[in-house]
């Protein structure tokens, strides 16, 4: 490390163990190298900084940063990024000087990102409002840059391809998964390493990150020439995913819900009788006795081990839903209460969600086991191991793992590490971590399907799915940017409920069209999974403009069953289309295996925006409907009803083939193609055509 100090008398700057330290007005800032071309920034009032309650960052790799300290500025250079702290004068403010942090490209000197104030009088660029002796409400404000584009931040449902102009909560909720990492078109990636509840705003005049309660500021920033450089660096400091098991590349069958062992087996046998591919079948919630007992109801599932064995004999894997909820009627409730293993509330009764249960008393009030308590994680896993893993189950659907709270008041939740507002966003990370540790110890190559995730979840082998979305075109359109943002946030294992979750009526022509188009998208998604809460049979289909009804209270259907949701459930015409799409998915598996292997090694998302693979496509940040599946397939889902043709803009730099006809197109052109049912626009790089002839038989026929 080269350290140059030109003036130190009364200086606020110092170095400690290679880190740059600034102490001014009772605040300590610490900036240190944290991996190649990256730095970590921590700050808080007092004489030192603190670790967050939960951190996404792995220990830093060794680095040799250069530190230069002058009178009113100090710089730390680590490869391509230079962090600087400048002491600026503040006229008309509460304090006359302020330490302002900024980041530059080390080679060009161009500014990547810098702090700013919204008003000259305040609040400060890093503003701490005391809540208690070691907790603050905190916000950090940065400049907004014209022409900047931002991607990531987890899995949103706002439908925006570009985060610029978006304001969103940092709070895990059903369908809204928070992974606080973004990739900027200005050549940097930014991780808000803070599990607190808060907000993120990418306005035209300012960028603001805030935490409602925290023990300090903590973020990580990396410089990179391309989005690929940035995403790969993020995986380097938060962890790489394991390899995806081959079976998971195939088709998954699911619905709300299969009620019994016999019903589930009948569906699996029918897939085999029809000669249809099926890799996984999923057992949804309420297979259990009560919430918090984490075991099968023996009346409905008399021999779970035999179930797993028969399905494996058919080359079908089984996944089972496990919620982290605990009912006061559960056989485990008293012990978990006495041992302090449950989330409680700061005020009022110790429950956080009202929900139905498979219980003679009907709906009740529940809490969650405390994933922030390692003893609680061990208790929960021990029960899961006895009641599921011991019977051969190794793939788990970790539903409601936000944790879902109603009302969503995390500040009223008490965890083993402190108040919920300070850390609740990291609940799914720790919940998933214990499952991965348990499966690894048992020698099981299990997969976790999760409704929520946080920074670093990818290293636990997590498939993020887009939650309980509605069966309509607006929600369908939102799934494409949701999947793309998830991939740019590090979650390459991603899926959605094909057909949507709520309000799908199998007898409706309108829904059948939506289902087919969503199935097309599912086949060309990282994970292909059919799921939904279908309207029960016998309920009339809604007319134009009418609201879907389930014919009864939906809580009753939770504990009974929705309508059928198998590929043959929607009539012969739909069945024929879906059958051909399943053939395509099966033929894609060798290609997808390579894509997932590359993701595990590098972090390159399986489903990515065009600009990730094509520099020339960098001006298409607003295109929410076209994406790359791996490096060679361009997919443009049909996102509107009654559509027979589409115009698709193709990236420059390569020639393209229309997958279904073989028609050839130059890069940079716009292709007008037909899109009949089962054939959304798909294009293959000219150089990769030979590898896709088993998938698209007509691809070599065009001219």
> Which residues form the catalytic set?
399, 402, 468
Radius of gyration of the chain (CA): 26
DSSP 158: S
Which residue(s) pair with 4 in the sheet? Answer: 68
CA distance 31 to 18: 9
3-state secondary structure of 389: helix
Q: Which two tokens stand for residue 592?
A: 């997808």
CA distance 364 to 330: 12
3-state secondary structure of 434: helix
* φ and ψ of 555, to 5 deg: -60, -35
CA distance 332 to 354: 19
CA distance 38 to 63: 10
* φ and ψ of 334, to 5 deg: -65, -45
> What are the C-alpha distances in Å from 123 to residues 296, 324, 610?
55, 40, 39
Helix (H) / strand (E) containing 265: helix 261-273
CA distance 502 to 46: 50
Helix (H) / strand (E) containing 449: strand 448-450
Q: Are 487 and 519 in contact (CB under 8 A)?
A: no
* φ and ψ of 122, to 5 deg: 130, 175
CA distance 546 to 533: 18
Q: Which two tokens stand for residue 160?
A: 């925006």
Q: Which two tokens stand for residue 429?
A: 């990370």
3-state secondary structure of 538: coil
């Amino acid at each position: 490390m080269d350290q140059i100090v030109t003036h130190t008398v009364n200086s606020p700057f110092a170095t400690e163990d290679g880190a740059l330290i600034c102490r001014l007005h009772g605040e300590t800032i610490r900036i240190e190298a944290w991996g190649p071309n990256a730095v970590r920034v921590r700050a808080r009032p007092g004489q030192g900084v603190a670790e967050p309650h939960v951190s996404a960052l792995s220990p830093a790799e060794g680095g040799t940063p250069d530190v230069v300290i002058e009178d009113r500025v100090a710089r730390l250079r680590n490869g391509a990024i230079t962090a600087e702290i400048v002491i600026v004068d503040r006229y008309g403010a509460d304090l006359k000087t302020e330490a302002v942090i900024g980041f530059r490209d080390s080679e060009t000197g161009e500014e990547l990102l810098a702090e700013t104030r919204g008003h000259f009088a305040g609040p400060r660029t890093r503003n701490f409002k005391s809540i208690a002796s070691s907790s603050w409400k905190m916000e950090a404000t940065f400049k907004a840059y014209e022409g900047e584009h931002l991607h990531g931040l987890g899995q949103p449902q706002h439908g925006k391809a570009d985060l610029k102009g978006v304001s969103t909560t940092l709070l895990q909720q059903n369908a809204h998964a928070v992974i606080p990492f973004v990739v900027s078109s200005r050549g940097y990636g930014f991780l808000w390493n803070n599990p607190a509840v808060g907000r993120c705003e990418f306005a035209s005049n300012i960028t603001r990150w805030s935490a409602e309660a925290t023990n300090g500021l903590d973020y990580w920033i990396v410089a990179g020439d391309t989005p690929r450089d940035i995403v790969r660096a993020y995986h380097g400091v938060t962890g790489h995913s394991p390899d995806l098991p081959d079976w998971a590349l195939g088709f998954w069958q699911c619905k709300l819900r299969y009620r019994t062992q016999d019903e589930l087996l009948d569906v699996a046998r029918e897939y085999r009788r029809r000669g249809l591919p099926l890799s996984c079948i999923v057992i949804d919630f309420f297979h259990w006795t009560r919430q918090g007992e984490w075991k099968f109801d023996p009346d409905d599932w008399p021999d779970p081990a035999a179930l797993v064995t028969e399905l494996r004999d058919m080359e079908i894997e089984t996944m089972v839903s496990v919620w982290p909820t605990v009912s006061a009627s559960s056989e485990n409730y008293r012990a978990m209460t006495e041992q302090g293993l449950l989330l409680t509330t700061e005020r009022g009764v110790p429950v956080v969600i009202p929900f139905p249960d498979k219980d003679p008393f009907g709906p009740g009030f529940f809490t969650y086991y405390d994933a922030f308590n390692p003893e609680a994680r061990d208790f929960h896993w021990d029960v899961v191991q006895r009641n599921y893993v011991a019977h051969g189950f190794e793939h788990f659907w970790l539903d409601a793992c936000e944790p879902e709270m109603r009302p969503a008041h995390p500040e009223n939740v008490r965890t083993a590490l402190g108040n919920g507002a300070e850390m609740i966003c990291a609940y799914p990370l720790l919940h998933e971590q214990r499952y991965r540790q348990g499966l690894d110890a048992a020698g099981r190559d299990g997969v976790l399907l999760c409704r929520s995730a946080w920074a670093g979840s990818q290293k636990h082998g997590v498939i993020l799915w887009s939650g309980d979305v509605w069966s309509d075109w607006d929600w369908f359109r939102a799934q494409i940017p949701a999947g793309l943002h998830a991939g740019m946030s590090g979650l390459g294992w991603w899926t959605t409920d094909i057909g949507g979750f709520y309000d799908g009526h199998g007898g409706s022509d309108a829904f059948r069209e939506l289902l087919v188009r969503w199935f097309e998208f599912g086949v060309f998604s990282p994970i292909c999974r059919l799921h939904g809460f279908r309207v029960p049979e016998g309920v009339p289909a809604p007319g134009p403009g009418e609201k879907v009804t389930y014919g009864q209270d939906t809580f009753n259907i939770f504990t009974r069953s929705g309508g059928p949701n198998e590929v043959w459930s929607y009539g012969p015409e739909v069945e024929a289309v879906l059958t051909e799409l399943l053939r395509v998915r099966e033929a894609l598996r060798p290609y997808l295996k390579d894509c997932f292997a590359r993701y595990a090694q590098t972090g390159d998302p399986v489903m990515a925006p065009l600009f990730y693979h094509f520099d020339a496509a960098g001006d298409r940040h607003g295109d929410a409907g076209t994406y790359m599946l791996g490096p060679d397939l361009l997919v443009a889902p049909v996102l509107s009803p009654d559509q027979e043709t589409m115009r698709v803009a193709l990236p420059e730099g390569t020639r393209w083939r229309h997958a279904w006809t073989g028609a050839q197109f130059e890069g940079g052109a716009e292709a007008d193609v037909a899109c009949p049912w089962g054939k959304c626009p798909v294009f293959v790089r000219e150089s990769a055509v030979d590898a896709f002839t088993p998938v698209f038989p007509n691809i070599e026929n065009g001219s």
